[in-house]
Structures are given as C-alpha cells and as structure tokens.
Amino acid sequence: MNTENSRRDFLLASSAAVLGTTTVLGAGTPLQKNTQEKHGKTLDPPQTPVCISSGNGLRAVERARERILAGDDPVLAVVNGVGIVEADPNDMSVGYGGLPNEDGVVQLDSSVMHGPTHKAGAVGAIENIMHPAQVALKVLQTTDHVMIVGRGAYQFARAHGFKKTDMLTDKARAAWVRWKQTQSSRDDWLDPDQMDWTPDGTQLSNATNPNEPVPFTYGTIHCAAVNTKGEVSACTTTSGLSYKIPGRVGDSPIIGAGMYVDNDIGAAGATGRGEAVIQSCGAFAVTEAMARGMDPTQACLHVLKKIAYNSTKQKRLMRPDGNPNFGVTMYALRKDGVFGSAAMYKGASFTVADAKGSRSVKCAALFG
C-alpha cells in the first residue's frame, strides 16, 4: 500500500466530513483535478497577476503587483507590499505605530507562505523590529523551522541585520495611557473627565471629552498574489489585539489559521478576532472549501458560518440577537485569479490589483 496516498486519502476524507460534503476523492486522485472537476473547467493561471489584500492594503496590492510584473516571485512581492503598511505610523493595527500590549510594549506577529515549495515562515511576539514579515520570510528562506517567537525571533532578526527600532509611537503611547486611565474608576489613574491638566502641563478649564472612545483594534493586513505561472503566495502581518496580555499570539503567524496557501488551489487569510479564527482553522478551511468546488466568496462565507456557530458555545461572545459580538473577515484568492472576501458584518471592504487596476471592493457579509 502506498503510505503517502493512504494518508492523503484520510486527510481528504476528514476534510470532506468537516465541510459537510458527500464527495470523497478516490485513491490517488490529485486535489487539483478534483477542484477542476467541481468547477467544470481547468484552473489555468491568470493571464495577468492578481493580488488581493485587506481593506488597509490598497498600497500593498499595488506594490505587490508592480513587483510581480517586474519579475519578482509572488512571495517576495507580497512581503514587499505589506512592508508599506508595517512602516506606516498611522495604521495602528500593523507594525510601527501599532497599539501595544497591556505593558505598553508593541509585539508583532507575521507569517509568509510560498505555494510552489509549500514552505512557510512565521514569527510571533517579536519586539523592536519594524518588518516582521521580512523576518518571517527569512525563517522560510534560511531555516528548517516554520515559527520562531519572542526573544528568539528578535535575536534571529538581529542576526540577519534587521535594525532595532522603538516601535511605540507617541500616538500609540498616548492611546495606551488613555486605556489605562479608563479601565477602572477605582484605581489611581485619573479618567479624562477628572483631570485638571493636559499631558503637556496646560491647566484645563474643561476636561477632555470623556466620551471619546479609546483606540482599540484587532486589525491586521493580509496579502495574497498569483502570477501568470499559477504560483501563489501569501502573507499576514499584525500588531495583534491591542492591550493584550504580554506574549499573546493571535492567528496571523499560525499557518492554517490567519494564512494558508496550497498551490494547487489558492490562498486564504483572515483579519479580526484571532482566537475565533484559530479555533476554526480559518484559512485552511477556506482553502479546502475552494477545493471542494466553492468559489472564493462562498468559501469565505462557509467558514464564517462555522466560526459563528462555534461562538455560540461561549455565551460571552454572543450579542443579545444571537450573533457574534466580534468581527472576522476572510479573504480568498484562487489559483486561476478568481478572488473573494466575506466579513461577519456588512460594511467591510478588501482591496484588489489586477488588469483592471487597483481598487477597494465591498466584502460579502454573513450578517447585516
């Protein structure tokens, strides 16, 4: 008996059961062939590169597509693309300027995956490095590991010449201080409506607006690309849940959760509540749903339904109307360049760069 085929058949049968399908591949049937049969067509590579990203990734998809057209491998292109957002101090969910953990320390997570080789690299809870996606790429390129975390990830980055950077911007620091002030009325931090002085020492005649919301995010950037050879790659990078417990790692650096690539099928990624995505193996599940014949948008909605269902088992995660009290957005790019995205609630968007140019597109929504 061919052990590898037996293992493959078992995995495919298990996936079919999870996804609620009735068709199981026969022994030795290539997954790509099954995908082609389900769609009734061959998944030929697109005639032009296609890149997709989360709503904050318009510049990322533009850069990634430019790099692919210039001859870069898609994995290099997506890392280059997200690097723009990692270095942007105005995006408080990614990289430099990202909101810190509860101790005021910015800890970053990132993962990268290269479809043709099925290799992946990731870093978790890395500090003082501006471009965690580039460090994750180095893990993929130069090691036999997949994930390096914490102090080890920082030392690995420094060994590769990455510069130590203070990642906490003044804007993010001010948000963190305000978060501490507003956590409880029973501590010794004065709430905004209790203060008599501004942070720069100016006396106030009226307190600052106590109703102004404290900045909070579990945002991220995901970017995926396919070239005209049908080579697929993806990257997800984030500063994670704001004010998190130090050392917390979300879905973004976890292969199969916040990002996954199967070069026979395509790529998928996630933004939003990382714990919910991890517990449903979000990106892997989207990719497998595409392999079973769902188009990218259908696959994203399918997995969001599973995430929403799983959340009903934890009452603290549910709204009075019975829907989840958090957001998740899934993204999918098929090998032939067809793409899609879906969010838990309406109003979200994602970004695309293809032959039609770069643009924002409304996500499908599971709930209104």
What is the strand order of the sheet 339-345 is part of? Answer: 259-262, 266-272, 328-334, 339-345, 364-367
- List the domain boundaries for the chain: 1-33, 43-167+216-367
Tell me phi and psi for residue 150, to 5 degrees.
60, -135
Burial of 219 (0-12, 13-18, 19+ CB in 10 A): buried
Q: Which two tokens stand for residue 192?
A: 């905004």
Which stretch of 9-23, 64-78, 278-292 has the lowest confidence by average pLDDT?
9-23
Structural tokens at position 20: 């609620």
Handedness of CA 308, 309, 315, 319 (dihedral sign): positive
The pTM (predicted TM-score) of the whole model is 0.85
- Dig out the tokens for 202 from the structure: 């100016």
**What is the spatial distance between Cα 286 and Cα 256, in angstroms, rounded to a whole number?**
9
Residues contacting residue 198 through CB under 8 Å, at least 6 positions apart: 204, 208
Residue with the two structure tokens 């099925």 = 118
**How sure is the predictor about 206, in pLDDT bands with cuts at 50, 70 and 90?**
very low
Strand partners, 353: 51, 358
Fold assignment, 43-167+216-367: Glutamine Phosphoribosylpyrophosphate, subunit 1, domain 1 (3.60.20)
Residues taking part in catalysis: 220
Q: Region 168-182: what's the mean pLDDT?
A: 91
The span from the CA of 223 to the CA of 228, in Å, is 17
* pLDDT value at residue 91: 94
Largest CA distance in the chain: 82
Task: Judge residue 323's burial from the number of C-beta atoms within 10 Å of its C-beta, 0-12 exposed, 13-18 middle, 19 or more buried.
Answer: middle
Dump pLDDT digits (tens) for 224-261. 999 999 999 999 999 999 999 999 999 999 999 999 99
